[in-house]
Amino acid sequence: MNKSLLTYKKSGVDIKSADKFVKFISNISTKKKGKKKLGNIGGFGSISDIPNNIKKPKLVACTDGVGTKIEIANKINKFDTIGIDLVAMSVNDLIVQGARPLFFLDYISINKIDLSKLKSIMKGIIKGCRMSKCDLVGGETAEMPGTYAKGKFDIAGFAVGIVAEKKILNRKIKNKDLILAIPSNGLHSNGFSLVRKVLETNKINLNKNNFLKKELIKPTKIYVSEILNLINKDLINGCANITGGGLEENIKRVIPKNLIANIYLNKIRTLNIFKWLKKKNIKDNEMLRTFNCGVGFCLIIDPKNLNKVKKNFSKNFEPYEIGRIIKGSSKVKLNGKISWSK
């Protein structure tokens, strides 16, 4: 054999390994009882059924990634939860519009195909899709030598949902509505560049700190089931997914003209990971615009529905009041300070 012959594999792209990964995805994504699948994985395009029982249906599309949380996964060599994060970041945005997730696609780019790593990521994506009651219908895995350093990768996701026109949220928000906080279960998937800077500045070995190792890799809470249940019962007027930009920047995106989300920061029940970060020389305003600070999702409801809304949540994620909608033009007003010692 002529050793000077060039091949795709010699350039760093292993098609056989990629094919093995596609076969793995196809096998695990179709293991769902009682539901006929069209077998899209590995094809040129993805085919999905459109529900026929929705009046004046509207499609809603979202895309997102998990940012530099992937560096935490690389650091501790744990990849089975960032796939859940990936799904959560898109489907939690879909439900803000009142949409039910229909299907999801992923994109993974990596220096070199690592089947063990990729299978772990994909198991998380499949789990996230099942938690969201949506189908994984396709995606792309790109082996990109020379673009990513050894062991490095990135992931992105894309979700499509459906909503009846009359069920689209945030149109009903009105004066005197309550603003409720639904707890997060940690950092979710935002602010990790600052987290990593804290680790670097304080010379913290993540693999020797069990508290941080556990907290930093926790998957983003998926709120789909609870929120869709409330929508079906007509119990909420609006909602917001609290991600990058924090509480203020995200809730203002859903507040109509001439209304203000009047929020009392001292009512926020923050979590231990945020208390730990606050002690690392980060100012309050930086915490608030970088992290969710314990508020993963916000509901805007009619006060008369408060008790009915609370019944739809487990104890750990029961919503609580943090403010009200008032008249005005500034969109958001933050009052007081978060108590980091509670």
Could you report the per-residue pLDDT of 294-303, keeping only the tens digit for each? 999 999 999 9
CB burial of 81-104 (b: ≥16 within 10 Å; e: otherwise) equals bbbbbbbbbbbbbbbbbbbbbbbb
pLDDT tens profile 82-111: 999 999 999 999 999 999 999 999 999 999
pLDDT > 90? residue 26: no
CB 284 within 8 A of CB 137: no
pLDDT > 80? residue 21: no
Strands (E) in 247-291, as ranges, are: 259-264
Range(s) within the chain of domains with CATH label 3.90.650.10: 178-335
- Model confidence, pTM: 0.92
pLDDT tens profile 157-203: 999 999 999 999 988 999 999 999 999 999 999 999 999 999 999 99
What is the CATH code of the structural domain delimited by 178-335?
3.90.650.10
Range(s) within the chain of domains with CATH label 3.30.1330.10: 15-165
The whole-chain average pLDDT of the chain stands at 92
**What mean pLDDT do residues 12-20 have?**
78
In angstroms, what CA-CA distances link 121 with 39, 63, 117, 145, 196? 21, 18, 6, 20, 21
Provide φ and ψ at 298, rounded to 5°: -120, 140
pLDDT at 34: 42
CB 187 within 8 A of CB 220: no
What is the CATH code of the structural domain delimited by 15-165?
3.30.1330.10
pLDDT at 36: 47
